[in-house]
Amino acid sequence: MNKIALMLASGITLIASACSSQTSTTTPTVTTGGDTILAPVETKSPNTNYKPAFAGQTRIAGVKTKTAYEGKVIGSGLKSPWAVISLPDGRLLINEKGGTMRIATTAGEISPAITGLPPVNSKGQGGLLGLVLDPSFATNRTIFWTFSEDTEGGSLTSVAKGRLSDDEKTVENATVIYRAAPAYKGTLHYGSRILFDKTGNIIFSTGERSDKETRPQAQDLKSGLGKIIRITPDGKPAPGNPFLDNANARPEIYSYGHRNVQSLAFHPVTGDLWEAEFGPRGGDELNLIQPGKNYGWPVITYGIEYSGGSIGDVIQQKEGMEQPVYYWDPVLSPAGMTFYTGDAIPEWKNNLFIGGLSSTHIARLVIENNKVVGEERILPGVGERFRDVTQGKDGALYAVTDGGKLYRIGK
């Protein structure tokens, strides 16, 4: 048994042992999907005594992958990688926080830095952020990315596009197409992930910049902070947006009331948009995003201040505000995420995989009928902050860590 597999097996054994001491049910059952049902993977005490809005909203039963697989480091030396996506030929395009990109093969060979991007403000949580290929990349070689940009009055989350040169050494004609104003003099909570939807328009996320003075802007429809935004590839409000005809709102806003969104993915079967966002101390959320909906921050939350203090009116539910499908307390610190569509590991089909930062594992969530019904921790013993995870063309998962490593997870 290789070292990673041994660590996985040991971690699962320890979790099962710890959990069995807290529950009278020591004999696992098996679902029709082939997963073994265990006690919840989280055994630490929560930060709060808040009550979930419904059964299964947090600390759902644990599951265990039965198909043999391994997680191994195939590359290292990346400089604070932030996003990883697959190119049409199976290689991986990677954003680095400081403002460069690189290409990695699935054998772990990593290219020199790709330059030519606009300057980024990489202080704090800023830098080069989300990354996506144009749907017609195979013919136009266009890429889009989000980044923290210095402007008059502070910094903000911006969207840019450019052409990956034929020699793959630079990005040509880089152009900023959208800026999520207002700017703010801070270094936290920029978001941001970016996707193309099935209509060929762009969906991307922003943070509310963390500080108490900017938090209320997550509820402000005149602000680009704490939002999911939908624009055309030219940076204009996309047709069909929920606030297009609202004079009191930005027409590019798709949903609001978000804290710090670093996770976006479309469900491969339903096409629904899913999002995960950082809570404060406790209360990280998984949300099913619907256009025009209010997701509550900072009015409702399942977390508390990092100092231990309360937030707002200390409420978790309010009419007109959406409940998270699932939440974590203690936190996962959810970064990039992807749905698995491969066939190599059957019980992973359509499951959601989320990179965990402070939790130092990848969360596997089994979702049925828009509810989380099982949770597993992937690579819990390697001690890495998983910043992003994507599915490769070969059906394996590929993940990057803040420590500069590239992992392959699969058979």
Active site residue 189: yes
Catalytic residue among 189, 258, 267, 361: 189
d(CA 36, CA 364): 14
Cα–Cα distance for residue pair 130/319, rounded to 1 Å: 32
Closest CA to 132 of 73, 222, 184, 192: 192
CA distances from 306 to 86, 195, 355 (A): 36, 31, 21
User: Contact, 183 vs 155, CB < 8 A?
Assistant: yes
Looking at the DSSP bridge assignments, the partners of residue 374 are 366
Cα–Cα distance for residue pair 212/194, rounded to 1 Å: 26
**Sheet containing 92-96, strands listed edge to edge, beginning at the edge strand earlier in sequence:** 81-86, 92-96, 100-104
Least Cα distance to 50 among 399, 304, 352 occurs for 304
Side by side, which strands form the sheet with 386-391? 70-75, 406-410, 397-401, 386-391
Which tokens hold the place of 214?
């900017």
The per-residue DSSP string of 125-170 comes to: T-SEEEEEE-TTHHHH-EEEEEEEEEETTEEEEEEEEEEE-TTSSB
Q: Three-state secondary structure along 263-314?
A: EEEECCCCCCEEEEECCCECCEEEEEECCCCECCCCCECCCECCCCCCCCCC
Q: In this structure, what DSSP letter does residue 216 have?
A: G
**Residue 15: partners with Cβ closer than 8 Å, 6 or more residues away:** 38, 39, 41, 43, 62, 377
* Residues noted as catalytic: 189
